[in-house]
Amino acid sequence: MLNTKEINQSLSDLDGWTLEGTKIQKTISVQNWKGVMMLANTIGHISEVAWHHPDLLLSYSSLTIYLTSHDVGGVTSRDITLAKKIDDIIKWNPRGEDGPLEGTPDEDQHRYLK
């Protein structure tokens, strides 16, 4: 289990994650319910593959992720690693890469993340 100093140091390298008691959490705003479900399913997939399962709070236009290692009752390197993987996948945009994928158009009607 990480101590508070180690957790805060790790969170400084992540985008929007905070320490809340014995969990780290992040809220992501999206355009609508469809976006919430797309995001929840993506997080569900990578969490299952990692065999480390977050608590998710879904609302119409946001999703909150809570990560903790239940077996030790606090935040571990597993939580930090999964938070980073979630951020990497959510932030990925092929538009900035030199490849065949063009990325989502900039218009709001096409985006699901705010």
Report whether pLDDT(87) > 90: yes
Q: Tell me the CATH architecture of domain 17-92.
A: 2-Layer Sandwich (3.30)
For residues 70 and 110, the model is more confident at 70
Query: For the segment 34-68, what is each residue's pLDDT rounded down to a tens digit?
Result: 999 999 999 999 999 999 999 999 999 999 999 99
Domain ranges of the chain: 17-92
Number of C-beta neighbours around residue 107 at 10 A: 7
Tokens 């945009």 correspond to 93
pLDDT of residue 104: 87
Q: Which of 22-31, 92-101, 103-112 has the lowest mean pLDDT?
A: 103-112
Q: How many helices (H) and strands (E) does the chain have?
A: 3, 4
Contacts of 5 (CB under 8 A, 6+ apart): none
